[in-house]
Amino acid sequence: MAGRISLCMIVKDEEQNIRRCLESVAGAVDEIIVVDTGSTDRTCQIASEFGALVHLFPWNDNFSDARNASLERATGDWILFLDADEELSRESRDVLRRLTAEDTTEGYFVKIINYLGNEGWIEPCPDLVFRLFRNRRDYRFRGAIHEQIVDVILEKNGQAKYQVAEDLVILHYGYLNRQIQEKDKKNRNLELIRRELAAAPENRLLRYHYGVELYRAERYEEAAAELIRAANGIDPQTIYLPKLLRYIVLAYHAACRPGEALEIVRLGLGLFPDYADLYYYGGLISFEQRDYARAYDFFQRAVSLPEQPAYYASFHGVRGFRSYYYLGQLAEIFLNEEEALRCYITGLQDNPHFTAALESIVRLLEPHKDPVYARDCLEKLCDLCTPDAVLLMAQVLFRQSAYLLALEHLERVTGQREVPAEILLWKAICLIQQRRYLEALRIIDDFGPDHPLYPLAKLNKILCFWLQGNRRRVRTLVEELFALGLSADTGAVVGLLRDSLSRRRRVPGVALGEEGISLLLDIVMRALDLGEKDRAESLLSGLSQECLGKNARAVGQLFYRYGHLEAAEDYLRLYLKNDPGCAGTCFTLAEIKCREGAFLEAADFYRQALTLDPGEPRHYIGLIRLYEKMRREILREAVKRYPEVPVFRELLEEVPVEA
């Protein structure tokens, strides 16, 4: 026979949330006790609508007192405790009845799913909490914050039996960023716990919570110290130990102490060898330390682990898309693009909202080189049936400067619905990159002088004419743009555009700051994308030698990306003169020389890259591939020179041919 159930809650200014909470328990509990600690909104009225008994209780900086006030008034056999920003999952209503029919149990740990959301999508993170227990006079909450009742019940009733009921699920929305900020929970909690901890310095659990709050307040060093104190000498059975360990790792990591963090990972895995979060963070930290061998092992373990027990409070995705993303990054670091794609795709399938994986996939498909192939792949991979998905894809493609494909996607959405002005401007840019200048200009001319994007639109208008070599129109438009009042850097770039079309050269050349360079490189890239190599170079020739030298690496990489090997080599060699220690530049030069068939020079550059930075796997792999390529060349020549010797042909067939 199921007992009667009282829902108890304490609230303050929860009109945004309380309706959702009470709707979720309607009919599932037998009475509702709401203790209000001073709402100034409609919270009490809404509670009354659901038949709640509402009591006012003046706030005294103590959560337990308020909670106990609600318990005092409960008449049921069982107490279910919820916060206003929580709800009972639909499937749990029957479970609740079943659990309260149990005779021998004094209380239940139930599963709570915390919704966290700081990365653009909402992610569930399960944990266990003690929220359902028998209503007895001496079972009362203790502690001003992170109030606890489990230990109280045990004190009063040594025989008390608890159970874990993972099928009773509470959904908690309180961690969503917006709400955390709204309530300024962090500072309130910190101050309360600090005071309480001063009174009870031996309270381990309280210290743990204090450490967590310090971590949330981004005081990482202090957080690590408090959490370590909480962990010293702890009983390994303690239910929150896994979480505590993870917080120590996080705190050390955030405090830029990777060595300590990894040591805790090691210790933690000794206690909980199947705890995915520790593998994930171990991998992450090793990855950042460029210890790729270890990072790989950690992430591999993370993705191979089974469903995590609820008390691990495992973060969403550590066994899935998060680890796969890093496995993809690792594969790229080892120049294995096929494996990288496989990892990113697995990650994306695990979480379709995970844009970082999508960006990487698009990048690896090199849509600027082979748009048709990239389009086919992406269509197979992604479900593009909603306008939102199409728009997202368009944005990703645009950011990867795949203008043709981005345009196709934009055209699919811009016809159907209102899109932000920025997206329209992107469409215009994509049109320019297809040399569809008239259509582009139609969009651009819709931006009036009051629009915040007007200068950018205007700049693109200049580009339309600049790409066509229309000196006169460019000059007029540049004057108009100057009249708006531009930043020094932007002005200088615009001036370069104008001057690049005239035969006169300004001496000395222009020196640009960071903002100007990034704008200039964007224009150079777009020119290269259109095959306008000379125009790009004429633009660059307006730069001062010093400024060009400093940025020659980025310029060289761009020329390399668009297949202009000789120009790329010139820029990269120029850069190397300024910064002889740049391993990345040596590596690109090696790749260029290798593609040109100048193997010995390539070998020198690979070796130089390796010498400058022995921590980069691609430097080894480049050299390995080069030797293999040279060997193939030798065998090919041997086949030609000595056709009567069959062994060379056989050897050549054995050699794996490069993709």
From residue 252 to residue 291, the character string flagging contacts with another protein as x (rule: CB under 8 A) and all else as - is ---------------------------------------x
Q: Report if residue 643 touches another protein, rule: CB under 8 A.
A: no
From residue 547 to residue 586, the character string flagging contacts with another protein as x (rule: CB under 8 A) and all else as - is ---------------------------------x------
Residue 27 and residue 96 in contact, taking contact as beta carbons nearer than 8 Å: no
Q: Report if residue 105 touches another protein, rule: CB under 8 A.
A: no
CA gap 483, 474 in Å, rounded: 14
Q: Which residues pair with 112 in a beta bridge?
A: 127, 170
CA gap 160, 106 in Å, rounded: 6
Binding-site member from 75, 577, 611, 650 for another protein (CB under 8 A)? 611
Beta carbon of residue 620, minimum distance to another protein (angstroms, whole number): 5
Give which of 329, 337, 338, 370 is closest to 563, Cα–Cα: 370
User: What DSSP line would sit under 13-37, residue for residue?
Assistant: S-TTTHHHHHHHHTTTSSEEEEEES
Which of these segments, 56-64, 365-373, 424-432, 608-616, binds another protein (CB under 8 A)? 608-616
Whose Cβ is closer to another protein: residue 242's or residue 622's? 622
Q: Report if residue 614 touches another protein, rule: CB under 8 A.
A: yes
Binding-site member from 50, 121, 175, 334 for another protein (CB under 8 A)? 334
Binding-site member from 82, 214, 249, 295 for another protein (CB under 8 A)? 295
DSSP-derived secondary structure letter, 509 = P
Contacts of 402 (CB under 8 A, 6+ apart): 362, 367, 368, 371, 374
Binding-site member from 30, 221, 222, 339 for another protein (CB under 8 A)? 339
Specify the residue for token string 């030069």.
Answer: 589
Whose Cβ is closer to another protein: residue 6's or residue 585's? 585
Which of these segments, 5-13, 142-150, 295-303, 506-514, binds another protein (CB under 8 A)? 295-303
Read off the tokens for 93: 């209503």
Whose Cβ is closer to another protein: residue 333's or residue 413's? 333
Q: Report if residue 635 touches another protein, rule: CB under 8 A.
A: yes
Beta carbon of residue 651, minimum distance to another protein (angstroms, whole number): 7
Rounded to the nearest 5°, which phi and psi values hold at 163? Answer: -135, 160
Give which of 414, 432, 415 is closest to 423, Cα–Cα: 414
Long-range interactions of 337-346: CB distance < 8 A, separation 24+:
337/364, 338/659, 340/364, 341/365, 345/381, 346/321
Task: Give the interface size with another protein as a residue count (CB under 8 A).
Answer: 45
Binding-site member from 419, 473, 604, 649 for another protein (CB under 8 A)? 604
Whose Cβ is closer to another protein: residue 384's or residue 639's? 639
Q: Report if residue 621 touches another protein, rule: CB under 8 A.
A: yes
Residue 41 and residue 108 in contact, taking contact as beta carbons nearer than 8 Å: no
Whose Cβ is closer to another protein: residue 312's or residue 326's? 326
Binding-site member from 297, 411, 515, 522 for another protein (CB under 8 A)? 297
On the CB side of 203, CA atoms within 13 Å amount to: 22
Q: Report if residue 601 touches another protein, rule: CB under 8 A.
A: yes
Q: Report if residue 603 touches another protein, rule: CB under 8 A.
A: yes
Beta carbon of residue 297, minimum distance to another protein (angstroms, whole number): 6
User: In a 10 Å sphere around its CB, with 0-12 CB exposed, 13-18 middle and 19+ buried, how is residue 179 labelled?
Assistant: middle
Residue 127 and residue 311 in contact, taking contact as beta carbons nearer than 8 Å: yes
Q: Which residues pair with 11 in a beta bridge?
A: 36
From residue 65 to residue 104, the character string flagging contacts with another protein as x (rule: CB under 8 A) and all else as - is ----------------------------------------
- What is the maximum span of the chain, computed from C-alpha positions, in angstroms? 102
Residues lying near another protein in the complex (CB under 8 A) are found at: 291-297, 330-331, 333-336, 339, 580, 600-601, 603-604, 607-608, 611-615, 617, 620-621, 623-624, 627-628, 630-631, 634-635, 637-638, 641-642, 645, 647-648, 651
